[in-house]
Chains A and B, each alone.
Chain A
Amino acid sequence: MEHYSIHLTINGKKYTFFVTEEDTLLDVIREKAGLTGTKQGCGCGQCGACTVIMNQKAVNSCCILALQADGSEVETIEGLDSPSGLHPIQEAYIEKGAIQCGFCTPGMIMSTKALLDQNPQPSRPEIREALSGNICRCTGYTKIEEAVQAAAAKLKEVSHES
């Protein structure tokens, strides 16, 4: 087993990690960067709990080798927080009751952010499509859809204010 150095920018901060061929991006985020907000669910790309944004696209970090991600910009759930408080998407999820056990929530929120970054006013089918790779075993999908719509409205408001 060889070790390689990789460079990642996670939530705007530059990191260098030493990884093996077997380490996944999820391993690096959780175990080496200590950002445990991103969850490991199925481990094979079917549940979306490990969703992060890599180079502006939502991806399953459990199915990407750390070496593949070398040089990438990664955004995790921790990157949404700021000194001024929670991100509007996080606020919307709380206000709409879109969180039950919470395990899927970081992945859901990152898929939501990837969607709203590209499409600030998505329709309901577009929301469903964008979140189709994320499973909520508490089955709170209706509230999650409402939260995404509310987040879109909040972000629109924020962008008008600024």
Chain B
Amino acid sequence: MYKRPKTMEELLQASSLKTETILAGGTDLVPLIKNGVKNCSSLIDITQIPELKKIEKTDKGWFIGTAVTLSSLAENPDIRQAYPALSKAAGKTASPQIRSIGTIGGNILQDRRCMYFNQSAYWRSSLPLCFKTGGSVCHQAPASPVCRAIYYSDTAPALCIYGALAVFYENGCRQTLPVLDFIKHHTAENGTVRYKEILLEGFLLPFQEVPMKSAFEKVSIRNSIDFPVIHFAGTYLPAAKQSCLYAGAVSHYPVRLVKTEEAIASSSFAGLDALTEIAVQEIRSLSQLIKEPGISPKIKRESFKNIRFLFEELFG
């Protein structure tokens, strides 16, 4: 069954049974359907609903609809000026082809990835089912009681640093949550995500009352298109020495670097090298690395020091 509602009312009615899978760009979902880890027996395509495709200034901040494509977001001059790290993160996600159709909502709601999960059904048939496919083991760490798959969204840390709120419907009720809480809320149980219960309307980015510096840096093996090896996003308010720093692609969710923020606030470091070392140690303590295609955990740990590029942009 495939539905393509034209209004929010039609969408809310169509999705009320919680049996349909929400489809926007499909760049995450379609490969999973092909790999036999998701079924497409009932899809609702939300890309024809005008409210979900708009970027507009409201009295509470900028609203970005869930079906706004990543290319539209990256090219929007208002977003580029007000939230440059988000604009850069959207422009650094995947390839031009994927950004043309992939959406900000889909990027945030993407499934966590793992080299044992993102495989064809035939490939996976030689192994017992893992947590993400309804089994009871994590092939990355067989003794682990939880799924260790990693969340790679490039735009997530950028939304987090600006204090963005996710606006969504659940059980027919319109709700808001900070983006990080929303990403956690989207995880149903041990590695699996709620494809059917949550209907994301968009994101509300509060106005920046005092202009802050903000930046986004991404490290990937293939510079142009790859999922990130690691990425960083941060804001900095020089007058108050106040910062907000996130690192992503190292755990189930983007991790906030609170100790590094405290060091910046108290100026308890001597130069960027020392600050980088503090951040590297904090990322090491918060990260939960797994085996990934093309990169070992050891090499990935080496990539943590690239946070220095973020610092250079924020403090330079």
| Residues of A in contact with B (beta carbons under 8 Å apart) | 2, 4, 21-22, 24, 43-46, 48, 51, 54, 57-60, 62-65, 67-68, 70, 111, 114, 128-130, 132-134
Q: A22-B40, A64-B30, A70-B4 are in contact. List 20 more A-B contacts (CB 8 A).
A: A2-B1, A21-B41, A44-B31, A46-B225, A54-B101, A57-B101, A58-B96, A58-B97, A59-B101, A60-B27, A60-B101, A65-B40, A130-B96, A132-B95, A132-B224, A132-B225, A133-B94, A133-B96, A133-B98, A134-B95
- 7 contacts across the A-B interface (CB closer than 8 A): A45-B94, A57-B100, A58-B96, A58-B100, A59-B101, A64-B30, A133-B95
The answer to whether A68 touches B26, judged by C-beta atoms less than 8 angstroms apart, is yes
Q: Say whether B23 faces chain A, with CB atoms less than 8 Å apart.
A: yes
Q: A46-B225, A68-B47, A128-B224 are in contact. Are A133 and B30 (CB under 8 A)?
A: no
Chain B residues engaging chain A, CB cutoff 8 angstroms? 1-2, 4, 23, 26-27, 30-31, 33-34, 40-41, 43, 45, 47, 71, 94-98, 100-101, 223-225
Q: In the complex, how many angstroms separate the beta carbon of A153 from the nearest chain B beta carbon?
A: 22
Q: B26 is contacted by which of A65, A128, A132 (Cβ under 8 Å)?
A: A65
A51 touches B97 (CB 8 A): yes
Query: Using Cβ atoms and an 8 Å threshold, which residues of chain B touch A134?
Result: 95
Q: Which residue of A lies closest to B71 (CB)?
A: A57
Interfacial chain B residues near A24, Cβ < 8 Å:
30
**Cα-based distance from A58 to B94 in the complex (angstroms):** 13
A137–B267 Cα gap in the complex (Å)?
49
Closest chain-A Cβ to B50's Cβ sits at a distance in Å of 15
Determine the distance from Cα of A44 to Cα of B71 in the docked complex, in whole angstroms.
19
Q: In the complex, what residues of B have CB within 8 A of residue A44's CB?
A: 31, 34
B224→A21 contact, CB < 8 A? no
Question: Which residue on chain B has the smallest CB distance to residue A48?
Answer: B97
Contacts of B223 in A (CB 8 A): 132
Q: Find out whether the CB atom of A111 lies under 8 angstroms from the CB atom of B96.
A: yes
Residue of B nearest to A110 (CB): B97
B295 to A: closest C-beta gap in Å: 16
Question: Which B-chain residue is minimally distant from A60 (CB atoms)?
Answer: B97
A67 to B100 Cα, complex, angstroms: 17
Are B100 and A65 touching (Cβ within 8 A)? no
